[in-house]
Amino acid sequence: MNSFWNGKRRYVALLLFLAGVFVALEVPPVIPFIQLPGENLPAGYNIPFTDIRITNTLVAAVIVWLLLLLFLVYIARRRPSDGSEVPPGGFYNMFEALYEGLMGFIGGIAGGPHFRLIFNMFMTIFLIVLLSNWMSLVPGIDTVGFIHPHVKEKYDVEKDEYKVITTDGFEIYQGFLGISYVNGQCNWISPADEAAADATALAAAEAARAAAEQDLLVEAAYDRYKAAHDGHGDDAGGESSGDAHAEDDHAPAVAESDAAAAAYDEVLAARVAEKQARADRGCYTGVAVSPWQDGYIAADDKAKKAPIPLHPDPSSDEAKRVPWVVLPWVRVASTDLNMTLTLAIIAVVMVQYVGVKALGIGYFTKFFNFATLFKSPLGGIDVAVGLLELIGDFAKILSFSFRLLGAMFAGAILLFVMSFLVPILPWPFFILEFFVGAIQALVFALLTAIFMQLATISHHHDDDHDHAEAH
């Protein structure tokens, strides 16, 4: 342990820690927009010679394949040409030890004439899923990309036109070198909603003023009634009591005015404080003029009626009128059902392939076993068992795909949330996802190898063995 931290490693670790603290303090944390399907990249990013839009999960899948290709070239160049050559050290030795360990492990499960095919399939799936899962640990994946206005067009049947409508999202600001950043601390509020909230606060303040005035009137009436009944029949000092009553008529009016104003200001101050809190976080304020501000015209609905831009310039004032989200350049491929479902289909197809290769056309009798239907009273059970086997193979596609998708999608959300809550020290969760990604890759590949091995075993091997002994 001490030798590991000697030399430059300790300074590299310290530099990385300080860089993480700097970024956490200077760059506001952002929670990327979370959705299950892979996001389409903006217009113009199509698959060559087609109209199919490229998704960010497809970009991640291509990167994984390129990394695998480079990895194979590296291994081929580093591998010793014969047994007398000393193998190089470093990463190659680590991979060779892992490769031989996995080969021995799979050999104990699927040894036999089809071992090489099963092991090759196991290793291929393992490396693809492992690299896909570990991409979530790379800085910038899922968080760096296009600043995308989160709006969509909706067709209005009655008016025969398209309308631009907004959804949820965040505000943006211009940062270093004019780069646009999503402000994760400021949920976007439309100008119309802000104006409506201001009007609601003003109405609530007016209601509080009226309620305070009504309470004071009731109290004043009760006080006058009590004073009149308490002083009834007291003739002494009648002239002076009349003067005191004249003074008391003015005092309640002043009290009513002060109390009503205080109730009005208290309710309105809460809304002003809420707007100020958003301003302190760098959020938009004043997009719609407040009803209590100078220059407000009640009949002026310009802020509400202004059209919503479909493709605003992030650096313009129009950017305040729409919500924004981060459209990542690269998103982890294993968080997309298309990728996990594709791997699941390939795995199940390979199970059928190795079964047919090992047992021939008779392999399908485990699904459609009608041989004993009319020969034995239990023949119907064989048919039902075969249909259950068929359903089970289709169920493998679902279990394979959704197990991997659920684990990695949940892990990605965990990293988003914890990086937002504790941006300085999220390392325990990255370590957790490191092991989760490796375990999920091993489970996916190992189940494929086990099912392939089971497919090579005849369901009638016991009957065939008994038949051979009889001869």
- Mean pLDDT over residues 401-405, rounded? 93
Residue 64: the pLDDT is 94
For residue 45, being part of any structural domain is answered with: no
Q: What is the rounded average pLDDT for all residues in the chain?
A: 79
For residue 11, being part of any structural domain is answered with: no
pLDDT-wise least confident of 182-196, 333-347, 381-395: 182-196
User: Which of 17-21, 137-141, 259-263, 281-285 tops mean pLDDT?
Assistant: 137-141
Amino acid at 236: A
DSSP state of 7: T
Residue 468: the pLDDT is 40
Nearest to 27, CA basis, from 149, 114, 144: 144
CA distance 374 to 353: 30
pLDDT-wise least confident of 280-284, 285-289, 323-327: 285-289
Question: Looking at the structure, do residues 229 and 253 belong to the same domain, yes or no?
Answer: yes
CA distance 411 to 426: 13
How do residues 346-358 score in pLDDT, each as one tens digit? 999 999 999 999 8
Where is pLDDT greater, at 437 or 198?
437
CA distance 259 to 443: 71
Tokens of 102: 């996995």
Question: Looking at the structure, do residues 103 and 217 belong to the same domain, yes or no?
Answer: no
CA distance 471 to 442: 45
Is it the case that residue 233 has pLDDT exceeding 60? no
Question: Looking at the structure, do residues 322 and 366 belong to the same domain, yes or no?
Answer: no
The secondary element (H helix, E strand) that includes residue 146 is strand 145-149
Residues whose CB falls within 8 Å of the CB of residue 23, separated by 6 or more in sequence, listed in order: 423
How do residues 361-370 score in pLDDT, each as one tens digit? 888 888 887 7
Q: What percent of the chain has pLDDT over 90?
A: 22
Residue 296's SS3 state is coil
Question: Looking at the structure, do residues 317 and 385 belong to the same domain, yes or no?
Answer: no
Tokens of 204: 């609530």
Is it the case that residue 257 has pLDDT exceeding 90? no
Is it the case that residue 94 has pLDDT exceeding 90? no
Question: Looking at the structure, do residues 434 and 451 belong to the same domain, yes or no?
Answer: yes
Asked which of 328, 358, 374 is the last residue of a domain, the reply is: 328
- Write out the E strands in 272-382: 324-328
pLDDT band for position 31 (50/70/90)? low
User: Which of 90-99, 304-313, 343-352, 454-463 tops mean pLDDT?
Assistant: 343-352
For residue 455, being part of any structural domain is answered with: yes
Question: Looking at the structure, do residues 323 and 241 belong to the same domain, yes or no?
Answer: yes
DSSP state of 453: H
CA dihedral 96, 99, 102, 106 (to 10 degrees): -130
Question: Looking at the structure, do residues 420 and 300 belong to the same domain, yes or no?
Answer: no
For residue 59, being part of any structural domain is answered with: no
Question: Looking at the structure, do residues 111 and 210 belong to the same domain, yes or no?
Answer: no
Asked which of 297, 328, 359 is the last residue of a domain, the reply is: 328
Amino acid at 378: L
Question: Looking at the structure, do residues 214 and 124 belong to the same domain, yes or no?
Answer: no
Q: What percent of the chain has pLDDT over 70?
A: 78
Give the DSSP letter string of 53-74: BPBHHHHHHHHHHHHHHHHHHH
Question: Looking at the structure, do residues 246 and 117 belong to the same domain, yes or no?
Answer: no
Asked which of 328, 354, 379 is the last residue of a domain, the reply is: 328
Nearest to 324, CA basis, from 421, 140, 181: 181
Nearest to 199, CA basis, from 297, 298, 291: 291
* Cα 215 to the center of its chain, rounded Å: 51
Question: Looking at the structure, do residues 197 and 98 belong to the same domain, yes or no?
Answer: no
Domain that holds residue 260: 191-328
- Mean pLDDT over residues 13-37, rounded? 74
Question: Looking at the structure, do residues 356 and 414 belong to the same domain, yes or no?
Answer: yes
Q: Residue 440's beta-bridge partner residues?
A: none
Tokens of 228: 């009149």
Q: Are 296 and 286 in contact (CB under 8 A)?
A: no
Is it the case that residue 61 has pLDDT exceeding 70? yes
Number of domain units in the chain: 2
C-alpha dist (Å) from residue 73 to 79, 131, 280 = 10, 16, 54
pLDDT band for position 419 (50/70/90)? confident
How do residues 157-181 score in pLDDT, each as one tens digit? 777 777 777 778 888 887 767 778 7
